[in-house]
Amino acid sequence: MFANFENEILLAARLLLGGAFVFAGLRNIQNQAFLTQLMAARGVPLAGLALWVGIVVQIVAGALVMAGVWTAPAAACLIVFLIVATPMFHNFWDHKGPERAARINGFVGNVALTGGFLTLVAQSL
């Protein structure tokens, strides 16, 4: 049914997935002081540098995914980013009540994003 729209569907997928990470990276620039403190408290060495590496990965890889340029490597970078960032920022096992539920939702959302990026990698092969 959608065979005639494969390119348009893939474009929409790339724009949505990559755009979410460009937006998140830009938002993280605004929240860098808070995020650096949070990462340092979680034991991340060189938290400020690690945060900036993550922000650059989010923005650059997200933009590459959106543009359809080096899609598989950019998606793979975002998969690695998600594997590192998800347990750091969505550590639901350390929380209770509504905060735990919010962290579980973030964790599951990042798992789903990982699946979307895996789909882009597979499609690019």
The dihedral region occupied by 80, where left means phi > 0, alpha psi between -120 and 50, and beta the remainder, is alpha
Angle 96-99-48 from CA coordinates, rounded to 5°? 115
CA distances from 81 to 8, 15, 60, 101 (A): 27, 18, 12, 22
pTM: 0.90
SS (HEC) of 37-72: HHHHHCCCCCHHHHHHHHHHHHHHHHHHHHHCCCHH
Number of domains in the chain: 1
The confidence band for 63, taking pLDDT boundaries of 50, 70 and 90, is: very high
pLDDT in tens, 73-94: 999 999 999 999 999 888 888 8
pLDDT in tens, 6-52: 889 999 999 999 999 999 999 999 999 999 999 999 899 999 999 99
The boundaries of the domain holding residue 21 are 3-124
Q: What is the pLDDT of residue 1?
A: 55
